[in-house]
Amino acid sequence: MRQAIDPGTVSAKNVEMLPLLFGLTIFAFLLLGAVVFVVCAVVPPIRRYALSAALWCAVCGPCTIGWMTLAGLGLAAAAFITKNGDLQSFHSPRLIEGFGWTYLIVGVIATAAVATGIAWLHQKVVRRFTFALFRLYVTAVSAGIGCVFGLFLGWLLMWREVAYYGLIWCVGVVILVVGFAFAAYRNARRLRGEAPTRFTWISPEEYMGVDSQ
């Protein structure tokens, strides 16, 4: 005999999954940003944009969560107003079809615009850091990028059911965090590019961290 499914129970479980969905979405963009940072860092012509490019990807995560939340609230409001909507559709693959492609396109364009604006401002501000401050900043960011790769490593180890994955993961995280931070600290000058010539409050010597005497 087929057991009836309680819609309320299914809906409650779906709501409980939302924090996990949001967390995975943000982590996916952080991982994308980490990969973009590495790619930019090893390609000399775009090396100075590595930090801002990674930030662009990272900003897309919260923006995507915001658009998803607005879409869900819109569908829920429509269901309550019309009294014939289906709240379950928020969790189904037909979300785009139910809410409209226009919303998706607008969301993508707005997300790209916000991320681009923040990355552009970040690039302008960071290029006006003194070398000492920039070195500390890029070291901290690189340590965070190493941590992101470490979390991804932990997921891979669990997925592959590797023996002693906990120990391997802890050692891997330490190596990745320390390795990325050390590499960024030693090679911070290579991530700078040329000193800005307009609207700057530091000298070229302060920018590159060299003694003017």
pLDDT band at 210 (very low <50, low <70, confident <90, very high): low
The answer to whether residues 213 and 178 belong to one domain is yes
In tens, the pLDDT along 31-46 reads 999 999 999 999 999 9
Q: Residue 44: how many CB atoms within 10 A of its CB?
A: 9
The answer to whether residues 145 and 187 belong to one domain is yes
3-state helix, strand, coil in the chain (%, to 5): 80, 0, 20
The answer to whether residues 204 and 175 belong to one domain is yes
In tens, the pLDDT along 63-77 reads 999 988 887 777 666
Q: What is the CA radius of gyration of the chain?
A: 23
The answer to whether residues 118 and 167 belong to one domain is no
The region, left, alpha or beta by phi > 0 then psi within -120 to 50, assigned to residue 50 is alpha
The answer to whether residues 110 and 184 belong to one domain is no
The answer to whether residues 62 and 103 belong to one domain is yes
Q: Are 52 and 63 in contact (CB under 8 A)?
A: no
The answer to whether residues 111 and 6 belong to one domain is yes
Among candidate residues 81, 110, 126, the one where a domain is terminated: 126
Give the integer Cα–Cα distance in Å for 6 and 2: 13
Among candidate residues 126, 156, 185, the one where a domain is terminated: 126
The answer to whether residues 111 and 40 belong to one domain is yes
Q: Are 48 and 124 in contact (CB under 8 A)?
A: no
Q: What domain count does the chain have?
A: 2
Owning domain of residue 88: 1-126
Highest mean pLDDT among 6-15, 92-101, 159-168: 159-168
The answer to whether residues 59 and 100 belong to one domain is yes
Tokens representing 69 are 């939340």
Residue with tokens 């931070």: 181
The answer to whether residues 134 and 112 belong to one domain is no
Give the integer Cα–Cα distance in Å for 104 and 84: 24
Give the integer Cα–Cα distance in Å for 170 and 153: 10
pTM: 0.80
Give the integer Cα–Cα distance in Å for 186 and 207: 16
Among candidate residues 98, 126, 154, the one where a domain is terminated: 126
